[in-house]
């Protein structure tokens, strides 16, 4: 399962990442960070859909997203 890690104190809630996600799993959360921005997040229920494409990280102006990719194993495991 690939995943992203949003560094919440850097996120400015611009939501550019939400527009480029090919599986549309990034959304604005209800939490505020220390700067008062509502940060982007991937809800627990959608976490497994992440493909690790890194588009969100590529467009993030604040370099707030790290992407971890797990290579697909054959046989669906």
Partner 1 sequence: MSEINEKLVFDKPEIIIDRATHYCPGCHHGIAHRLVGELLDEMELGGNTLMTTSIGCSVFLYNYLNVDAVEAPHGRAPAVATGVKRARPDHFVFTYQGDGDLASIGMAEIMHAANRGEKISVVFVNNTVYGMTGGQMAPTTLIGQKTTTCPNGRCETTQGSPIRMTEIIASLGGVAYAARGSLDSVKNIRTAKKHLKKAFECQTNGTGFGFVELLSGCPTNWKMTPLQANERIQNDMIPYFPLGVFKDISEDGGIC
Binding site for partner 1 (CB under 8 A): 1-3, 9-10, 12-16, 19-20, 35, 37, 52, 54-55, 57-63, 65-71, 73
- The minimum distance between CB 69 and partner 1, in angstroms, equals 5
Burial class (CB in 10 A: 0-12, 13-18, 19+), 14: middle
Q: Considering beta carbons, is residue 43 or 68 the nearer one to partner 1?
A: 68
DSSP state of 41: E
Q: Considering beta carbons, is residue 13 or 43 the nearer one to partner 1?
A: 13
Q: Is 32 helix (H, G, I), strand (E, B) or coil?
A: strand
Q: Considering beta carbons, is residue 9 or 43 the nearer one to partner 1?
A: 9
- The minimum distance between CB 21 and partner 1, in angstroms, equals 10
- Asked if residues 40 and 28 have their Cβ atoms less than 8 Å apart, the reply is yes
Q: Is 30 helix (H, G, I), strand (E, B) or coil?
A: strand
């Amino acid at each position: 399962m690939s995943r992203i890690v949003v560094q919440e104190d850097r996120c400015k809630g611009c939501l550019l990442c939400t527009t480029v996600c090919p599986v549309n799993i990034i959304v604005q959360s209800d939490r505020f960070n220390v700067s008062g921005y509502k940060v982007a997040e991937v809800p627990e229920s959608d976490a497994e859909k992440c493909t690790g494409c890194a588009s969100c990280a590529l467009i993030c102006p604040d370099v707030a997203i790290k992407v971890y990719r797990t290579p697909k194993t054959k046989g669906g495991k």
